[in-house]
Amino acid sequence: MKLLKRTLMVVLLMIFLNYTLISTTVGMAGGTAIAVMIAGAVIYLLYAVFPGRISGDVTNSTPVRLQILYGGCELILVSAVCLMAEIILYLVFWPGMTVGRALINAIICGALLFALAAEGVIRLLVISKQVKMAQKLLLLLMWWIPVLNMFMIWKVCRIARMEYEVEVHRQEMNEVRRETQICHTRYPVLMVHGVFFRDWHYFNYWGRIPAELVRNGAVVYYGNQQSALPVRESARELKRQLLEIVRETGCEKVNIIAHSKGGLDSRYAISCLEAAPYVASLTTISTPHYGCRWVDEVLKKLPGRLVKWVAGKYNTLFRRLGDSEPDFYGAVYDLTESYSKRFNEEAKNQDGILYQSVMSRMDSAKSSGFPLNLTYRIINKIQCCRSDGLVPLESAVWGQYLGHLKVDGKRGISHGDMIDLNRENIRGFDVREFYIDLIKGLGERGL
């Protein structure tokens, strides 16, 4: 049906676009010619405003943003098809055309098609959340360069189309399971961030994940530790937050989902700060339980003065951003392999708590941007092992291991992808659905 509607739209547009030639060739009378021209103009304008509804599958239930996004893709596709059809038309019928009228028709046709395509591109540039800023800038800079502009438009359109399909599919799934509340658990979820980030209100460390969990029935809280502290200090802050949640809600316990260093903070709070009675489960995501030997080596090789300078700059910046006493060096040192040996002797698993872990894997430095593309290369050189760009694969195994996540091809899943850092849709891996399944599993265990 969609193909049929799109084909019909192309035919109607072609009639309107070539009105100048058709009217003279057929010999339309004045009234008929005006009626056809008005009808064609109305169809053209309606299509420019509602392309998704006219030639696609967009309905009233589709969110407005997605309607605009889909419409942009449709405008680009249909205008491209019309352009190819127009070229074929001119090649076939050029010998029998009047040159002057043919040129006038070509100019009008080109202008109208350019307007449709330009509108489609503008829709994608303004509305798409998946097209990166660099790609948008490249398209704006290259729009006048033949071949390159077509390549960039095709790439942007492909990303936008995938974005539409992913979001519509997610909307449909959420509609189906709205009544089931599959992420409803006995105990609320406490999400604990990793190092060098904070739980800011306007930039969620966990990207689109928390909103999706809440939409499916989860009750979500955040660790609210400072961005960079030694594990012991972060664990104290985490315990205070945990007790506050229990006191305010009467929930008795929480399910902790912790990313990166947040897993170490959580383990220390549970094992060494007497937080165990208030924790039902701890799921660590890409946590360096056995440390990162490459961090040991980097700290040894870098000049002490340089490390001190970087630490000072970081601490100054994050004081301004809300941390009271950030400690860059203390946080980094607690990621070392040498520290982890002492830490694991001290922070033993506690009875009655479900411990589970999961890890992802990058397959090339191109799987992520800076700095993970750099640290990925450093890990390969120093430790010669698989990693997510920051944590060696084997270091993340703790408790019940849920396995390491990967996708086909060389894209891989990075340390940042596991918290939806870039809000990017990755083909073959839906990070939001991964966390929904994770929380659903806790609920099925009675947690």
Please give the average per-residue pLDDT across 315-331, as a whole number: 89
pLDDT digits (tens, 9 = 90+) for 190-201: 999 999 888 887
Q: What percent of the chain shows pLDDT beyond 90?
A: 49
- pLDDT for 29 equals 62
Residue with tokens 């411990």: 355
- Pick from 198, 143, 174, 191: which is nearest to 323 by CA? 198
- Distance separating alpha carbons of residues 375 and 56, to the nearest angstrom: 44
Q: Which of 260, 286, 218, 220 is nearest to 443 (CA)?
A: 218
Specify the pLDDT at position 238. 95
Phi, psi of 12 (to 5 degrees): -65, -40
Residue 420 pLDDT: 93
What one-character DSSP code corresponds to residue 429?
B
CA distance 361 to 51: 40
Domain ranges of the chain: 2-174, 184-444
* Nearest by Cα to 115 from 87, 152, 82, 154: 82
User: For residues 181-193, b (16+ Cβ closer than 10 Å) or e, as one string?
Assistant: ebbebebbbbbbb
Does the reported pTM lie above 0.95?
no
Q: Report the pLDDT value the prediction gives residue 180, as an integer from 0 to 100.
A: 81
Amino acid 30: pLDDT = 66
Q: Say how far apart CA 254 and CA 277 lie, in whole Å.
A: 10
SS3 state at 255:
strand
Q: Which of 154, 163, 216 is nearest to 430 (CA)?
A: 163
Q: How confident is the model at residue 343 (pLDDT cuts 50, 70, 90)?
A: very high
Highest-pLDDT range among 64-68, 258-262, 377-381: 258-262
- Residue 62 scores a pLDDT above 70: yes
- E strands, 209-285, are 220-222, 254-259, 279-285
- At 291, the pLDDT band (50, 70, 90 cuts) reads very high
**Sequential DSSP letters for 40-81:** HHHHHHHHHH-HHHHHS---TTS-HHHHHHHHHHHHHHHHHH
Comparing C-alpha atoms, which of 24, 176, 206, 165 is closest to residue 102? 24
- CA distance between the termini of the chain: 47
Higher pLDDT, 243 or 203: 243
Q: Stretch 26-35: mean pLDDT, rounded?
A: 71
Task: State the Cα–Cα distance between residues 207 and 185, nearest whole angstrom.
Answer: 21
Better pLDDT: 202 or 440: 440
pLDDT score of 381 more than 90? no
**pLDDT value, residue 183:** 92
Q: What is the CATH number of domain 184-444?
A: 3.40.50.1820
Q: If you write DSSP's letter for every residue of 316-382 in order, what string do you get?
A: HHHHHTT-SS--HHHHHHTTBHHHHHHHHHHS---TT-EEEEEEE--SSGGGS-TTHHHHHHHHHHH
Structure tokens at 3: 């193909």
Kindly report which listed range (227-236, 376-385, 390-399) carries the lowest average pLDDT score.
376-385
The whole-number pLDDT of residue 185 equals 94
pLDDT at 396 over 90: yes
> What does the pLDDT look like over 120-161, one tens digit per residue?
999 999 999 888 888 888 888 887 888 888 889 899 999 999
Residue 20 burial (CB count, 10 A) = 17
Q: What is the pLDDT of residue 214?
A: 93
Q: Are 248 and 216 in contact (CB under 8 A)?
A: no
What is the per-residue pLDDT across 80-123, written as a single tens digit (0 to 9) for each?
999 998 888 888 877 777 788 888 888 989 899 999 999 999 99
Angle among Cα 185, 190, 196 to the nearest 5 degrees reads 150
What is the pLDDT, as a whole number, of residue 330?
92
For residue 435, give the H/E element and its range. helix 431-444
Of 11-20, 232-241, 319-328, 355-364, the range with the lowest mean pLDDT is 11-20
Between CA 275 and CA 285 the distance in angstroms is: 20
Name the average pLDDT for the chain.
Answer: 89
Nearest to 89 by CA among 157, 5, 25, 147: 25
